[in-house]
Structure 1
Amino acid sequence: MAIIKNAARQTLGQLIGANNPPVEVPNDSQRQYAWGKREVDTYWADIQKFMRARRTGSQASSEYFIGPIVTITDDKITARSLLDGQQRLTTSTILIAAIRDTLGTMASTEARVMANNIQRDYIARRDGRHSRPQYFLTLSLFDRDFFKDYIQNWSESAGRIATTEQPSRPSHKLIQDAYSAFKGHISTALEEIYAEEDRLDWLDELADCLVKGLVFVEVQTPTSSDANEVFETINSRGKDLSTVDLVRNFLMEKSRDDEEKDRVNNAWRSLLDGFERREDIEKFLRHFWVARHGDVRSHSLYTTIRKDLTKRFETVAPRYEVRTFAAELQNASGRYIELITASTTVETLDTLLDEVKSLNADAAYPLLLAVSEKSPYAEMEQVTQALISYYVRWTVVGRRESTLLEEKLFDLAKQVSAGLSTDGVFDQITSWTPDDATFQADFEQAPIPRSTQARYLLSTIEQHLRRTAGVDDVVVAGATAVHVEHIYPQSPEPEFRLDDHTVWVNRLGNQTLLHGRKNRIASNKAYPEKVDAYSSSSLLITYDSGIERLWDAELGGWRARGIEERQADLAKIAVDVWPVGSRRDDGR
């Protein structure tokens, strides 16, 4: 059980104020800045609501409890390491800096004095003109320098200092976005206040609400292990807050020396620099674990990792060390990024990986990651083709239970990590894939309401038609160059509406591709008013796939039977486009 030395009420000003010990986020125990627009806007709205309530003067409205923080605090309380609460303290500092900078741009001397006082009292101070600043909140190594440069540094004579650090991680962009959001909110509020004196009063009130009105409970612990236990307890209640951060904290806790801690930090630096979004890091971590150990749900991922690795780290022979796991994680992350971004440099494989991405077939990535560890990229093409056909035939067109497909692929990934060959993987996927007759029957009846899936299916059929006809396929290479067109309209004019409209409108036989910007008005017109766009299209699936069958020229109305006929024709082609196993029509 964790030892808690003290649980003390602290205002924001007491936590990051000039007369209190600085707060530092330790390099081995915390995540990066992670608040996005939703959290920042909610925080601002809460502060505004608190300001209005505070004006009433009631005791109940004098403070706003914002939550607990966890620190490692020495006996004399001369230094505090922050284990939990970084997001709230960082965001509060960003807002304080936005207030400071707003004051710094105002014309009056009083505004500049107020800005300098805010800087000295709650952000950073200098003991002399040429001394280094003492920052009241210092972030961990991944965000530290950028946060100092972009938020905390300030010149009492010149105001905001031009930044030199360039944003290089997703967390840096989030810091920029939070600052811009607060500056925008403040600017909007001041637009309704015309007198300079009143603007100064409003900004002073806002700053006072933050530093005197925001209240935390600081849970002080004597050691990092105690703090980690409290941190995990807080973050394991409610939503799965930060699996990646919990794993990193755990690895730091289990590291036996500084060298191992550096190895963990290097791995995490690769993750932060390699992925554009934090959600992608979370997804990678799960897929990395699934690729080696089989399925595990996101909500139990950390518990599973901790339990398994604790056992392995404590086993004497063969010894498995923190540095080993960190190296495996770092190596896998590089391959994973190449797989999800289709940047392996093997052109034929990258084309297939683009298909996986277009399908949003995330269930394929653990298996692809496992195979990529055992085989070079040049030998992965056949397995990737088989995966795509399985996914299209089973899930997209067949509309069968996707969780069953996921379970099979996750277990297969585990088998690969245990030694199953690439040929064995291919044979297994092939055995699961619905046969031609089943797939053709499924395709003939399939509605495809999701435009991304319809675009993928139609574009891939188009590419097949062009290869078969010996026509250059560059015309459909860019997904943004074409849009999905409903031939029988999604919103037809009343006199042309089919019975059972919802049955027919999203059938694949009723969808095609057109180049250029979609004209929504024309799209809802009758066939004669759209026929020129179809007949002049350079896409084979549009001008040479029997679209005219959907319109009864004699009766002047749409034909549901025409949708069925066209879809049946597309189904015959689809059997060759997504064959069981590997593709045959392009010579591969």
Structure 2
Amino acid sequence: MDGQYSIPNYQREYSWEENEIQDFLNDLEDTCANPSTIHFFGQIVVHNDEDSQTKFIIDGQQRTITSMIFVHSLQLLYENLYFTTQYHPASKKEVLLSNYVGEYSDEEKSLHLILSEADNPYFIQTITARQPSDSKETKKSWERIRKAFKTIYEYLDSHCQDASDTSKKMDCLNRYFEAFFERFKVMYIEATKLEEAFIIFETLNARGKDLETADLLKNFVFSKSKDVDDTQKKWNSIVDNLDKIDTTNYIRHYWNSSHKFIRKNDLYREIVKFIKTPADVSAFLDSLENCSQFYHDIAFPEENVDFTDDKLISCLKNLKILKAKTFYPILLAMKQAKESYSEKDLLTVAETIEVYVFRNFTICGKVANTGERFFSEIALRIYGDLNSVTAICKEIRKSIVPDDEFTAAFNTWSGSNREIIRYILRKINKQLSPTDELNLNNSDVHIEHVMPIENSKWKIPEDTHNEYLWRLGNLTLLSGKLNIQISNEVFPIKVSEYAKSKIDLNKSLCTCSDGTPRTKWIVPDDIDIRQKYFSDYALIIWHIH
């Protein structure tokens, strides 16, 4: 590397995982095994800032860092070969130091690559100093750097350990050295103006095959910004608020909450149409930042920061159990609307969405992706004619499946997703016993199959057993201790334990409809009867109006 290259602080931290490192090593091995081949290693776009005499890597930072990790691995292997055998590979080590790495000590700080502030201290202390840690790092990007070095070093070391003498080990290392430095090729593009570098970056990555929309958009807003430090501060705040949430998914839901519905592949091209000036950048980031914590809280209600209404938190947890995400634009629109909706308002709408999701998708099996456009269209109208909770809920209810379709599907519904089964049975039990304060969320409460999974004692025909095993009418909730004791027993033994349960859901298992004690469980008749009994309550619990 000629001169000093830096990775700007606004660039993402080191992100290559095991798969990318393995791909790199596979490409290296293939190139090493075929001396006539050339490997294209991608592009590097650089902004040559003449004022600071620094070259900032705008695109290609991940492969550049990985290349430097590879170089340091080679350095350490050359050094180890010398210290253990006195075989002197000094020339290769010095070439690596002077041409590709640079020196770093208290006296000499001429490194050719400076990482972002987030990663540079760790990189210098461990990789540059060639003192990699064996302990897992708490910071994710540092752990990726540590694992990348460990994987590359151990790969090279193990492949050269097979060499029978020192000379052959040297030849082995040299082959990797030459394959990488002579036959790994990159497309290097340098611009003296930052705006030009970003235009090149955007052009090369416009199809978004290698980069997420968030990465493209991040570079775009930085290219338009007049205050890079402020832009970086806002972007970092957004990412911090989102925590483990994918930034691109957030931006898409945010955009679809206030604009015409757009799919992920078209998102970047659509957003950049609206951002023309530095003021547009600032307003866009302010709004993104303002909604980011709210979005995190609706996506991860169990970790929410701002919500105080327990019923709202519970409803959002239910929607998460139902794997629902397409509704996010509606709540984001309510967050941004001028009407200043309260948490109670959010709860009313969220409960209506829960009914919609449960009836349409969970029970009736409608394609969940159809909800994306539906919810986005409603979200956009929240800024116009749907300007009240009543209007929003009424519009959602129009598309909820009718009672007859819901009941027919519920009567034969079966599913093996234990979270959803728990959700349904908890709701029904709460309807049976509204004042019951039993904690049915507790992990000590298990899903019990009346007709058990193990069929040896019941001897139900295989086809019937397979069809009815996960039917809702064959399932109940039971304390873990009781469940373990009786899970595969015959019905007379099971029913004696059901009678001890404090969960109201189990009373119908102990008593027939005429009030007499139940002594047998007829499959499939009793399963069908119990499920139809549940469906009557389902219409009350997940009602449309």
Question: Residue 453 of structure 1 aligns with which residue?
Answer: 420
How do 1:437-586 and structure 2 match up within 5 A? 437-465=404-432, 467-468=433-434, 470-474=435-439, 476-478=440-442, 480-482=443-445, 484-488=447-451, 492=455, 496-499=460-463, 503-513=467-477, 516=480, 527=490, 531=494, 535=498, 538=501, 540=503, 543-546=506-509, 559-580=523-544
Deviations, residues 68-119 of structure 1 (Å, cap 9, x unaligned):
2222347999753322222212222233344555677786275998797587
TM-score, normalisation: structure 2: 0.81
Which one of the candidate residues 58, 68, 76 is aligned to 1:93? 68
RMSD (Å), alpha carbons:
4.3
2-side partners of 1:322 and 1:382: how far apart? Answer: 34
Deviations, residues 186-206 of structure 1 (Å, cap 9, x unaligned):
576578678777666645544
SS of the equivalent of 1:362 reads coil
Which one of the candidate residues 388, 398, 422 is aligned to 2:354? 388
> Structure 1 residues 454 and 242 mapped into 2: Cα distance closer, same or farther (>3 Å)?
same
Residue 438 of structure 2 aligns with an amino acid whose one-letter code is D
> Structure 1 residues 164 and 396 mapped into 2: Cα distance closer, same or farther (>3 Å)?
closer
1-side partners of 2:54 and 2:410: how far apart? Answer: 67
The alignment status of 1:215 with 2:185, answered yes or no, reads yes
SS of the equivalent of 1:544 reads helix
Residue 366 of structure 1 aligns with an amino acid whose one-letter code is P
SS of the equivalent of 2:15 reads coil
Deviations, residues 409-436 of structure 1 (Å, cap 9, x unaligned):
1112122245722332233233433454
Question: Residue 84 of structure 2 aligns with which residue?
Answer: 108
Residue 236 of structure 2 aligns with an amino acid whose one-letter code is R
2-side partners of 1:135 and 1:407: how far apart? Answer: 51
Identity %: 23
The alignment status of 1:21 with 2:32, answered yes or no, reads no
Question: Residue 35 of structure 1 aligns with which residue?
Answer: 16
How do 1:119-518 and structure 2 match up within 5 A? 120-121=97-98, 124-126=101-103, 129-131=105-107, 133-152=109-128, 154=129, 159-160=130-131, 168=139, 170-182=140-152, 185=155, 202-203=172-173, 205-237=175-207, 239=209, 241-255=211-225, 257-258=226-227, 261-277=228-244, 280-310=246-276, 313=277, 321-342=280-301, 343=304, 344-346=306-308, 347-373=310-336, 374-418=340-384, 420-465=387-432, 467-468=433-434, 470-474=435-439, 476-478=440-442, 480-482=443-445, 484-488=447-451, 492=455, 496-499=460-463, 503-513=467-477, 516=480
TM-superposed CA distance for 1:482, in Å, is: 4.9
Does the CA contact (< 8 Å) of 1:433 and 1:580 recur in 2? yes
2-side partners of 1:122 and 1:22: how far apart? Answer: 11
2-side partners of 1:48 and 1:534: how far apart? Answer: 63
SS of the equivalent of 1:33 reads coil
Instruction: Tell which deviates more after alignment, 514-523 or 447-456.
Output: 514-523
1-side partners of 2:85 and 2:485: how far apart? Answer: 58
Question: Residue 5 of structure 1 aligns with which residue?
Answer: none
Residue 217 of structure 2 aligns with an amino acid whose one-letter code is V
SS of the equivalent of 2:56 reads strand
Residue 92 of structure 1 aligns with an amino acid whose one-letter code is S
Instruction: Tell which deviates more after alignment, 525-534 or 227-236.
Output: 525-534
> Structure 1 residues 557 and 245 mapped into 2: Cα distance closer, same or farther (>3 Å)?
same
Deviations, residues 325-374 of structure 1 (Å, cap 9, x unaligned):
11111111121112212113412222222112111100121212222343
TM-superposed CA distance for 1:539, in Å, is: 6.9
Does the CA contact (< 8 Å) of 2:476 and 2:506 recur in 1? no
Residue 229 of structure 1 aligns with an amino acid whose one-letter code is I
SS of the equivalent of 2:538 reads helix
> Structure 1 residues 382 and 220 mapped into 2: Cα distance closer, same or farther (>3 Å)?
same
Deviations, residues 305-335 of structure 1 (Å, cap 9, x unaligned):
011233xx49xxxxx5321211111111121
Does the CA contact (< 8 Å) of 1:514 and 1:542 recur in 2? no
Residue 423 of structure 1 aligns with an amino acid whose one-letter code is T
Does the CA contact (< 8 Å) of 1:486 and 1:505 recur in 2? yes
1-side partners of 2:528 and 2:87: how far apart? Answer: 73
2-side partners of 1:100 and 1:376: how far apart? Answer: 61
Unaligned 5+ segments in structure 1 are: 1-15, 315-319, 582-588
2-side partners of 1:39 and 1:262: how far apart? Answer: 31
Deviations, residues 101-143 of structure 1 (Å, cap 9, x unaligned):
567778627599879758734764337x533523322334554
TM-superposed CA distance for 1:265, in Å, is: 0.8
Residue 89 of structure 1 aligns with an amino acid whose one-letter code is T
SS of the equivalent of 2:378 reads helix
Q: Which has the higher contact order (CA 8 A, sep 6+)?
A: 1
> Structure 1 residues 111 and 556 mapped into 2: Cα distance closer, same or farther (>3 Å)?
farther
1-side partners of 2:414 and 2:132: how far apart? Answer: 58
> Structure 1 residues 406 and 192 mapped into 2: Cα distance closer, same or farther (>3 Å)?
same
Question: Residue 515 of structure 2 aligns with which residue?
Answer: none
TM-superposed CA distance for 1:544, in Å, is: 3.4
SS of the equivalent of 1:352 reads helix
Does the CA contact (< 8 Å) of 2:471 and 2:527 recur in 1? yes
2-side partners of 1:191 and 1:558: how far apart? Answer: 68
Does the CA contact (< 8 Å) of 2:241 and 2:296 recur in 1? yes
2-side partners of 1:412 and 1:195: how far apart? Answer: 72
Does the CA contact (< 8 Å) of 2:25 and 2:152 recur in 1? yes
Does the CA contact (< 8 Å) of 1:271 and 1:333 recur in 2? yes
TM-score, normalisation: structure 1: 0.76
1-side partners of 2:496 and 2:156: how far apart? Answer: 50
Residue 97 of structure 2 aligns with an amino acid whose one-letter code is R
TM-superposed CA distance for 1:151, in Å, is: 3.4
